[in-house]
Amino acid sequence: MTAGDNSGGKVASLESISNIVKNLVIVGISTAVAFAVIPPLSQQLRSGSSKLTSVETPLLKVQLANEINTPDRTSGVADVSPPAPVAKAAQTIDSGGSAWCYVGAFREGQWKTRYFDVTSVPTKGAVLRALASANRRADKPNFDGSTWKMGDIEGVVSAGQGVRVEDIAEIPGVGGYTLYWIRGPVE
């Protein structure tokens, strides 16, 4: 047996030990996270609370509001119809009153996208019916000098529900489109 043969075996042993230690660290971290999250979550569910809005622990805080208020990074200032589970959750936090809703993108007499039953530009006083679930936001999109900011979601207008138009905002969109937003209460 030569010295070179023996060092190859030592390297393999060190790699094996290193992999074992790495796997033990991963298992340990996973276990710590599970013990930090599961007890408060199961306690909140057992308490009979009809709303599960957050899980708070010293190590972790998960909030529903953060998830539904994350903007769609590919849409600019246009809003998207929320996925069904998010729409259902947003209905439980609906603040009522007037809120902003995205109507759609309009250019040269044509709608590229629309979330309400409109054929022309919205007018104050009209009641527009939602074609799909639409977010109700605290504010219309605002430009802060470098990026567009969406208002926080306050609830959802379900398909078929109406919104009485109290105010209208025209936001410049890409490709020469105007993005129409309306503010009003759900009827």
Beta carbons of 99 and 137 less than 8 angstroms apart: yes
The answer to whether residue 69 is domain-embedded is no
Provide mean pLDDT across the span 170-175.
91
The answer to whether residue 32 is domain-embedded is yes
The answer on 177 and 86 residing in a single domain is yes
The domain boundary, picked from 39, 64, 89, lies at 64
29: confidence class by pLDDT, cuts 50, 70, 90: confident
Whole-angstrom CA distances from 84 to 27, 64, 129, 142, 176 are: 34, 14, 18, 26, 31
Work out the mean pLDDT of the chain and round it to a whole number.
75
End-to-end CA, the chain = 88
The domain boundary, picked from 64, 97, 116, lies at 64
Which domain range does residue 137 map to?
Answer: 74-184
Provide mean pLDDT across the span 44-64.
49
pTM: 0.54
Q: Which amino acid is at 139?
A: D
**Of 173 and 14, the one with more pLDDT:** 173
The answer to whether residue 43 is domain-embedded is yes
| Lowest mean pLDDT across 54-58, 96-100, 147-151 | 54-58
The answer on 44 and 127 residing in a single domain is no
What is the structure's pLDDT at 155?
87
The answer to whether residue 122 is domain-embedded is yes
The answer on 38 and 116 residing in a single domain is no
